[in-house]
Structure 1
Amino acid sequence: MVKQTIQIFARVKPPVRKHQQGIYSIDEDEKLIPSLEIILPRDLADGFVNNKRESYKFKFQRIFDQDANQETIFENIAKPVAGSVLAGYNGTIFAYGQTGSGKTFTITGGAERYSDRGIIPRTLSYIFEQLQKDSSRMYTTHISYLEIYNECGYDLLDPRHEASSLDDLPKVTILEDPDQNIHLKNLTLHQATTEEEALNLLFLGDTNRMIAEVINFSLKEPGSATVRHRVAKTGVGEAKYINLSLHYLEQVIIALSEKHRSHIPYRNSMMTSVLRDSLGGNCMTTMIATLSLEKRNLDESISTCRFAQRVALIKNEAILNEEIDPRLVIKRLQKEIQELKDELAMVTGEQRTEALTEAELFQLEKLITSFLEDQDPESRLEVGADMRKVQHCFHHLKKLLNDKKILGNNTVSSESKDQDCQEPLKEEEYRKLRDILKQRDNEISILSEVRTNQRGRHVA
C-alpha cells in the first residue's frame, strides 16, 4: 500500500498577446518547494486608497513556465504515474483550469506538429514500449473513451457512433456493487495489441468528440492506466451543466480536505462518481492546474490555484492490484482431483477401464525417454497412480529393451566383418532396464496382494 497526497503541478500557458511583466513570479524557498506568486496590478479607477490584496502565493510540486514543452511535461508528470501503473497500481492524471488555459493541449496535444503530442498519446507510446521490453510476462491492454455531457455519459468508441448522434447512443450509466466499487454500464472496452491500434482508438474517440462539438471530460484506460481530464466549456446552453459538475467536484474536494468528515458527496454527479477512486481512494493521482496568467484571467487563475491547494490535502491509499487467475486455479484443482481419483482407484481396486488417449500415450513415452536419458541415479519416473499408465510404461520399456537387443545383435553381426571397429556392448543399460522391470513387477505383486486381501474382507 502506498499512502500519499495527490500531487499537484502548475503549467502556465503562453499569452496570446505580448507578456505583461509583473503579473506573476516563480520562486523556490529554502525547502526547495516551488511557489507561484500572482501579482494583481493596481487599478487607478479604485482611487488613491486601495485596500485590495495585491498578491497571492501558492505552492506546487513543480511549476512549469511558458517555455516548458510537451516532452518535459510528460517526463516529469505523466511518466511516474505510468510507471506506477505498470507496477500494478491504478493511476489518474487530470487537468483543471479555466476555458482556454491549455487543458486539451496538455492532455491530448496539438495536431500541427508531432512534438506537440500530449500526455495521453505519449503515455500510450511509453506503455507499449515498456511492454515490449518485458517478454517474461503476458499483458493485455484495453482502451475506453468516455464523454460526460449534460450529466450523461457517452461511449465515444461505440461502433454505432458514425451513424448516430450523441442522443441516439445508449447512455453510459453507473452501477455500484455491494463493495461500493463503480462499474460503467454500456462503456465498451477495445483490446489494443499494438501502439498503432491504441493510437487509432484515441484518434477515433477524439474525432467523435469533435463531431459532437463538445470538449468534455474524457477517460482513457491504456491497460490499467487511467488518464482523465476535466470538462471544458462548450457553449451557453451547456455552461450550466458544466458549472454544476464543477460545483459538485469542488464539494467533494472540500469534504475530503476537511478532517473527520464522514460523508463525501461522490454520488451528486456522474463526474465525481467516476473520479471516486481517483479522489481519496485506491489510486496514484496527479492534478495539473493549467493557468492563463493574463490580466483578464487573473481572478479565475487564482481560483484554480486555490482549488489545487485543497486537492493537495487529499490523501489516497493506492493498493497493488493483484488477483488469482481463476483459470489456473481450476486447472490445478482438476489435476489434484484426478490424482486423488487415481489413488482411490488403486486402494479400492476399482481400476479405470477406458483406453488412454493418443495424447496421454505420447506424453508417457516422452516421460520414459527423458527418464532413460537422465544421468542422475536418483531420478524417478513419475506417472501417477493410474494403473493404466503404469502398465503402459512397463510395456513400452519392454519394447525398448527388445528393440535394443535386436539392434545389438545386428550391430555385432555387422561389426564381425571388421574386427578393428568392434566395440564392446554396454551391459549397464540392459541391467538398468532389467532392474526397473523387476522393481515394477514387485510393485504390481504387492498391489495385487492388497487388492485380493481387500476383496476377501468384503466377502467375509
Structure 2
Amino acid sequence: MASNIKVFIRVRPGKAAEGFQADPERGALSFKLPDTEPDYYVNNQKTAHNFQFDGVLGMQVKQEEVLETVARPVIQDVLNGVNGTIFAYGQTGSGKTFTITGGAEHYEDRGLIPRTLRMMFEAFRKGPAQYRMYISYLEIYQDSGYDLLRDDSVRNLQDLPKVQLREDEDGNMHLRNLSVNLAATEEDALNLLFLGDTNRVVAETPMNDASTRSHCLFIIWVDSTQEGSDVVRRSKLHLVDLAGSERVSQTGVNGKLLAEAKSINVSLHYLERVIVALHSRSKGNQVHVPYRDSMMTSVLRDSLGGNCRTTMVGCIAAEASNLPESMSTCRFAQRVAQITNTARVNEELDPNLLIARLKREVSELKREVQVARSSGEGEPEAFCFVAAG
C-alpha cells in the first residue's frame, strides 16, 4: 500500500513573533517577516510564507494528544506486521527529545517512546495473536554507531560496542554488533529505555541546557503469530530523535561542541540530499538517491522511500530570533511530505512452527488410525457370532 509520508509540525511553547500564526484546525502555518529589516527584505524578497501540513500541534498540546495524533496509526500498522518510523526533526532546543522521549520531571510529560511501549503491551494483552517484543537502541555520533544497551557501568562513549553496517546481496542493510534485547514486560522495556538514555551523549550549548549531540534510534521489533498458524509477522518501529541543526555563527560554540555541530550539520545535509533526490523521483525523474553517504541515511533507507509507514514531526520555535530556522524546517518538511513509501505486511513461514504443526497432525492421524483399526477388529467378530447362530 503506497502512501505519502505524514508530516506534523509541533510548535514549542514560548512567546510567538508578531508575524507568526498557527492554525491547528487547518494544519496551516504562516510567517510574515518584517520588511524593515535588511536580513529579511533584500532585493524584494518574499516576506509572507504559508505552509500546509497533515497537522499542526500548537503550543498547548498535551503529550497524550501527540501520541493519539502522530503515533497511534503507525503503532496499529506495526502490530499488523507493517514497518513503521516516527522521526523528529528541527533546530537545537525546539523540543525533539521532549517529543520522542519526554520530560523527566512530571509523569504526564512522558514522550512517544514510553507511551508507545504502554500502548503496545496493552494491545498484546488484548490481541488475538501471540506477541513478542525485542528492543535495540542505536546512537550515531559523528557518523559512528554505538550500542546503548550493553553496560550500565560504561561512562565513556568510546567504551560502548561499535555498530557496523553490512549490506546483503539484496541491498538490505544490517546492523552488526547491535544487541537485540527481549522485553517480556513493559517494565523490562522501560528499564532498557532508561539504560540507553543514561548512555547518550548530552552537552550544554547556548541554545539548550541539555542538547543531544547525536542521532538516536530506539528500535522496537515485534513478532506476532496467530494461534495455529505457521506464519510469523515480523515488523519494526523506529522512533528517531535526530540531533538538532544549529547555525555555528549564531551559537558561537568552539572546541568539541564546534566539531559536534559540524558533524551534525553535515549528516543533516546528507539527509536533506536524500530527501531532495526522493522528491525529484516523486516527479518522475530518474535520479540516484545517495543513501550510502552517511550511516544515518543508510539505517533509515527503508523509512525513506521504502517498505515502511513513516511519519515526521517537525519541531519549531516561534520566537522572532528562531523564525529563519523554523521556516527552514517547514521547507524541509514540505519536501518530505512528497515522498511515497510502499509499505507491506512482513510475513514469513517459521520452520519451527511448521514442524510443530506437522508433528501435531501426524499424532492426530495416528490416533485416528488406531481408533479405526480398533473399530475394524470388533465388527468381524460380531458378524461371525450372528452367522453361527
* TM-score normalised by structure 1 residue count: 0.70
Q: 2 CA distance for matches of 1:382 and 1:438?
A: 21
Corresponding position of 1:217: 215
| Cα displacement string for residues 362-381 of structure 1 (whole angstroms, at most 9, x for unaligned residues) | x999x5xxxxxxxxxxxxx4
The 5-angstrom pairing of residues 345-364 of structure 1 reads: none
Aligned 8 A contact 1:154 1:172 in 2: yes
Equivalent of residue 148 in structure 1, options 140, 151, 154:
140
User: Structure 1 residue 301 and structure 2 residue 326: aligned?
Assistant: yes
User: Structure 1 residue 229 and structure 2 residue 251: aligned?
Assistant: no
The number of residue pairs the alignment matches comes to 349
**Alignment gaps of 5+ in structure 2:** 204-210, 223-235, 246-255, 384-389
User: Structure 1 residue 204 and structure 2 residue 195: aligned?
Assistant: yes
Q: 1:253 to 1:325 in 2, by over 3 A?
A: same
Q: 2 CA distance for matches of 1:383 and 1:239?
A: 75
Decide which structure has greater strand share. 2
| Cα displacement string for residues 219-261 of structure 1 (whole angstroms, at most 9, x for unaligned residues) | 1223332212212369212111111101100000000000323
Corresponding position of 2:8: 9
| Cα displacement string for residues 64-92 of structure 1 (whole angstroms, at most 9, x for unaligned residues) | 11111111111100111101111110000
Equivalent of residue 434 in structure 1, options 378, 385, 388:
378
Larger mean Cα displacement after TM superposition, 192-201 or 219-228:
219-228
Equivalent of residue 76 in structure 1, options 53, 69, 89:
69
Corresponding position of 2:226: none
Q: 1:110 to 1:183 in 2, by over 3 A?
A: same
Corresponding position of 2:232: none
Aligned 8 A contact 2:213 2:260 in 1: no
User: Structure 1 residue 170 and structure 2 residue 195: aligned?
Assistant: no
Aligned 8 A contact 1:255 1:261 in 2: no
Q: 1:211 to 1:314 in 2, by over 3 A?
A: closer
Corresponding position of 1:25: 21
Equivalent of residue 275 in structure 1, options 276, 300, 318:
300
Equivalent of residue 189 in structure 1, options 174, 180, 190:
180
- 1:168: Cα distance to partner? 2.6
Q: 1:194 to 1:278 in 2, by over 3 A?
A: same
Q: 2 CA distance for matches of 1:330 and 1:186?
A: 30
- 1:329: Cα distance to partner? 2.9
Secondary structure of the structure 1 residue equivalent to 2:310: strand
Equivalent of residue 86 in structure 2, options 81, 93, 98:
93
- 1:19: Cα distance to partner? 3.8
Corresponding position of 1:451: none
Q: 1 CA distance for matches of 2:37 and 2:8?
A: 34
| Cα displacement string for residues 95-150 of structure 1 (whole angstroms, at most 9, x for unaligned residues) | 0000011000011100111110111110010000010112x422110010000001
Corresponding position of 1:123: 116
Amino acid at match of 2:242: R
Q: 2 CA distance for matches of 1:335 and 1:129?
A: 31
User: Structure 1 residue 382 and structure 2 residue 369: aligned?
Assistant: yes
Q: 2 CA distance for matches of 1:86 and 1:307?
A: 30
- 1:335: Cα distance to partner? 8.1
Amino acid at match of 2:120: I
Aligned 8 A contact 2:33 2:40 in 1: no
Q: 2 CA distance for matches of 1:186 and 1:46?
A: 48
Equivalent of residue 349 in structure 2, options 324, 343, 351:
324
Equivalent of residue 65 in structure 1, options 58, 66, 91:
58
Secondary structure of the structure 2 residue equivalent to 1:162: coil
Which structure has the larger Rg?
A: 1
Secondary structure of the structure 1 residue equivalent to 2:129: coil
Q: 1:169 to 1:438 in 2, by over 3 A?
A: farther
Secondary structure of the structure 2 residue equivalent to 1:139: strand
| Cα displacement string for residues 25-46 of structure 1 (whole angstroms, at most 9, x for unaligned residues) | 2348xxx852210121233568
Decide which structure has greater helix share. 1
Aligned 8 A contact 2:274 2:290 in 1: yes
Q: 2 CA distance for matches of 1:334 and 1:287?
A: 47
Secondary structure of the structure 2 residue equivalent to 1:220: strand
Larger mean Cα displacement after TM superposition, 253-262 or 219-228:
219-228
| Cα displacement string for residues 311-346 of structure 1 (whole angstroms, at most 9, x for unaligned residues) | 01100000111111111334456789xx7xxxxxxx
Q: 1:197 to 1:302 in 2, by over 3 A?
A: same
CA-based RMSD of the aligned residues comes to 2.9
Q: 1 CA distance for matches of 2:191 and 2:40?
A: 58
* TM-score normalised by structure 2 residue count: 0.82
Q: 1 CA distance for matches of 2:184 and 2:40?
A: 66
Q: 1:101 to 1:327 in 2, by over 3 A?
A: same
Q: 2 CA distance for matches of 1:47 and 1:211?
A: 33
**Alignment gaps of 5+ in structure 1:** 340-359, 368-380, 385-389, 398-431, 440-460
Aligned 8 A contact 2:71 2:116 in 1: yes
Q: 1 CA distance for matches of 2:274 and 2:38?
A: 38
Aligned 8 A contact 1:23 1:293 in 2: no
Aligned 8 A contact 2:34 2:40 in 1: no
Which structure would you say has the larger RCO, counting Cα contacts within 8 Å and 6 or more residues apart? 2
